[in-house]
Chains A and B, each alone.
Chain A
Amino acid sequence: MTVAKGEQGGPPLTGVNILDFSWVVAGPQATKLLGNMGATVLKVEHTGRPDITRHYPPFPKSGPGINRSGTFAIYNDSKLSMTLNLRHPKAATVMERLLRWADVVVENFTPGTLEALGWPYERMRGIRQEIILIRASLMGQRGPFAHHPGFGIMLQAYGGHSALMRGRDGIPMGSSAPWTDFPEAAFVCLAALAALDHRRRTGRGICFDLSQLEASLFLMIPCIIHWAAQESPWPLRDNRHLTACPHGAYPCRGTDRWCLIGVFTESQWESLKRVMGNPGWAEHERFSTAVSRKRNEAELDGLISRWTRGRDADWIVEALQAEGVPAGLVASAQDLDRDPQLRHRGHYVVMDHSETGPVSHDAPPFRLTGTPHRISSPAPMMGEHTERVCREVLGFQQEELSDLIKEGVLS
């Protein structure tokens, strides 16, 4: 009998080498995840154009610095860092050795940048026939808007996401986090794994042209189909649900504390009433059936808010969950940090760093029970591993290395 792999298994991607030219959020989050799954990720930056998140807040109390951004830290753990000026005439000797080492190259420059740097996919394949290249960009490498610049914060407006979250007078808002970067990161990771399996079975490399806009639309398919079928916008706004009621965020005791409640069944409604102490209003026929509750939803929300307002959010959530009602917090960072479930799963892994101090790093959102992940190192200093990689991985002699440094190739 074969048994499931024990805890002693190494991370699954051990031995896979990722040459990472990606920057900002989506690319680095994807390669971090590959690193957490055991791949060796070498992040390559040019000192003249470092990853812009290196200058992005927050910074430690000691002040900003190129190796001190908290945002950079959380998206770049478990990577090595080297500096290389690809525009330098002698960079090709380094790039050729990097390509012979790498299994997968990841980049998310503006379309055309790789070609402008002299490294189209065909040239890479000339060095290493089975190289995999994952190219991520805002809207794809080709097409009428391919060269239009932008960021996740704006693309969610273009991609229809913001229209699904509206404020006063119907103004679209969306998330103030770069929402569309996150599905892109996941698909970059998926594309790399799919390409690796393809190469394993066929011996062939592949170049994927991945669009952030298209990745983000995988979170929107029902709305698109609805539009096509019904010729009307998605019928929901705010926190409303098509059938569940009550369904929303309710204010609780304290400053800006909110609990979330979603009632999908009659028994959950009965449970909610019980936890609220069976108030008289809840017995009114305006709230006696799912249909009547939906019809009087605004009034119901007001009455529930009156109950939640003076109560502790954690208490409400615990009490409702004890009765089987879907309920949760609008979790703050502190809530996440002390979340007993996340602690049980070891979600945040604290790594010390000589410039930032300790930083919590996210574990992958899944546990591969036979081949556990690892957070192997905190985010690297700019160029921290340049010399080591050149000597130990790329096989440059000390003299060659000194020349490359002197001539500014490794900058």
Chain B
Amino acid sequence: MDAAMILDSYRVLDLTDHQGQLCGMVLGMLGADVVKIEPPQGDPVRRMGPFVGGEPHPERGIPWIAHNACKRSVTLDITTKEGRGIFLNLVSSAHFIIESFPPGRMESIGLGFHELLRHNPSLILVSITPFGRTGPRAHWASCDLVMMGMGGQMVYCGEPDGPPLRFAVDQSYPLAGIYAAIAALAAHWDRAATGEGQHVDVSIQECVLMTSFNMHVCWEMEGIEIKRQGVRGMRGDVRFRTIWPCSNGYVSWRVFFGNWGRWTRSLVEWMDELGEAGDLADVRWEELQMHSVPQEEIDRMEEVFQHFFLKHTKEELFDEALRLGIPLFPVQEPGELLIDQQLSHRGFWSLIPYPHLGVRLPHPRLPFPLPGMESPLRRAPTLGEHNKEIYCGELGLSQSDLVILREAGVI
């Protein structure tokens, strides 16, 4: 078989809300046919802002548009008798179902895993929930902020004397979406060998734990709790600055010693050419190890670098860093990535027309180009855009059936 796209010919039914919607998008980008099943009033994510043009409208929600490209949309009230029947009809030919309802919700509407299996014995059901489907906190209320804290990430974030912070856009949910796609494909690999489907239980809290780095093992081995450091990083006991103001913004860099001391030396040599290295010119960076340099000495060295950075723009510093091959980067606003030379070279963003909004909006391709298998990105669908295509074209319903079902509030 010659699959044009990697997951060509697989059907995914996507019942998720904001917590799991990236899973379906990623599978869709890999070539699967992803059908988003929305309640007749629309996925609740459509009501989340900010909105394109500023005005709240179900087709303008940026959180919706961002994570629903490469999907088709149908409306269906799966809690009604007719809706359930139509859904089970779709289930029989689907390969994956993804959902992010509270634990037990699918069972309560008669669509638990074992019921679904009766209609499709090799089905893979992926459930994405904040804390997992079972356990003492399975029914706890949650949001991205709570997930970031309960997953350990917030000990790394914030000023030492300020509150712990989250990134100001949801991170736990897209991360969980990617992990859910991994779990779906792992279950699929097994199904290819055994013919058997299974139920996959994704915990968003555990997805955030995948970002908790070495905090648990630091505590386990040394009894040390990691604490947030603001613009500094930490390696063992040593603190080093990672974000530096420059003349027109900020750059990210850190002092390196030992094997990587050559990077610091290259920077200092450049500073020295400009007469701004001071006594740093005499430091033998390669011969020192970070843990053997006293913290006060690192702090003092950092003052010299800070003085230097403040005299230069982030563009000057990055240009020179590129030339010297040292790991220094400008701090960018997210939007600056749209005109990034490296991303442009690799064709990462595509501007996709949204004719109903009169705009073109940027969507990424996957972070690994699919050689010879590129298919055009599809914009996020409008509400029920594919009702006719799927209900009439595939399930054989008539136009008048659709009118009746719409009237009854089923679609």
Contact = CB atoms under 8 A, between A and B. Distances in A.
A340 B136 contact: yes
A139 B343 CA distance: 8
A364 B187 CA distance: 13
A177 B145 contact: no
Interface stretch (B195-203, B276-284, B390-398): B195-203
Contacts of B250: 157, 171-172
A283 B361 CA distance: 44
Interface string B336-367: 11100111011011010000000101111011
Contacts of A177: 153, 156, 211-213
B210 A365 contact: yes
A151 B252 CA distance: 10
Given A154-B252, A186-B175, A230 B342 contact: no
Interface string B4-31: 0011000000000000001000100010
Interface in A161-181: 161-165, 167-168, 171-179
B241 to A, nearest CB: 11
B96 interface: no
Contacts of B132: 341, 344-345, 367
A367 B254 CA distance: 39
A193 B186 contact: yes
B150 interface: yes
A242 interface: yes
Interface stretch (A81-89, A231-239, A284-292, A395-403): A231-239
B346 A333 contact: no
Contacts of A347: 206, 209
A250 B49 CA distance: 25
A194 B140 CA distance: 34
Interface stretch (A90-98, A122-130, A257-265, A386-394): A257-265
Among A74, A197, A210, residue most surrounded by chain B Cβ atoms (within 10 Å): A197
A140 B185 contact: no
B343 A213 contact: yes
A368 B326 CA distance: 43
A371 B216 contact: no
Nearest to A210: B368
Contacts of A233: 333-335
B257 interface: no
B214 A217 contact: no
A242 B49 contact: yes
A185 B331 contact: no
A32 to B, nearest CB: 10
Contacts, number: 518
Contact of A165 (B167, B221, B334): B167
Contacts of B345: 142-144
B210 A186 contact: yes
B301 interface: no
A202 B218 CA distance: 45
B66 A221 contact: yes
B141 interface: yes
A328 B211 CA distance: 18
Interface string A94-136: 0000000000000000000000000000000000000000100
Interface string B112-123: 011001100110
Nearest to A178: B213
A358 B182 CA distance: 29
A377 interface: no
Contacts of A183: 175, 178
B404 interface: no
Contact of A326 (B114, B143, B158): B143
Contacts of B332: 157-160, 163
A290 B187 CA distance: 43
Contact of A171 (B2, B153, B231, B253): B231
B315 interface: no
How many chain B residues sit at the interface, stated as a range, is 35 or more
Nearest to B135: A344
Nearest to B195: A2
B150 A167 contact: no
A220 B62 CA distance: 12
Contacts of A332: 155, 215, 219, 225
A298 interface: no
Contacts of B235: 56-57
A260 B165 contact: no
A197 B145 CA distance: 35
Interface in B25-47: 26, 30
Contacts of A274: none
B232 to A, nearest CB: 7
A248 B198 contact: no
A70 B214 contact: yes
Among B117, B146, B194, B242, residue most surrounded by chain A Cβ atoms (within 10 Å): B146
Contacts of A37: 186
A67 interface: no
Contacts of B135: 340-341, 344-345
A372 B206 CA distance: 16
Interface in A249-293: 249-251, 256, 258, 260, 262, 264, 268
Contact of B159 (A1, A173, A221, A370): A173
B206 to A, nearest CB: 4
A251 B163 contact: yes
A336 B150 CA distance: 8
Contact of A327 (B62, B122, B141, B216): B141
Given A59-B221, A150-B327, A330 B155 contact: yes
Contacts of B50: 226, 230, 235, 242
Nearest to B22: A218
Contacts of B221: 58-61, 70, 356-357, 359
Contact of A193 (B62, B176, B189): B189
Contacts of B225: 332-334
A354 to B, nearest CB: 15
Contacts of A329: 149-150
21 contacts: A2-B121, A5-B194, A57-B218, A153-B252, A161-B167, A165-B158, A165-B167, A167-B230, A173-B157, A210-B368, A211-B368, A221-B363, A224-B364, A250-B163, A256-B227, A260-B149, A333-B215, A337-B220, A341-B205, A344-B135, A345-B135
Given A333-B215, A366-B179, 9 more contacts: A5-B198, A33-B182, A157-B251, A167-B162, A172-B243, A224-B334, A330-B155, A369-B198, A371-B190
Q: Which 8 A-B pairs have the closest CB atoms?
A: A227-B335, A370-B198, A333-B219, A160-B334, A157-B252, A214-B367, A2-B121, A365-B206
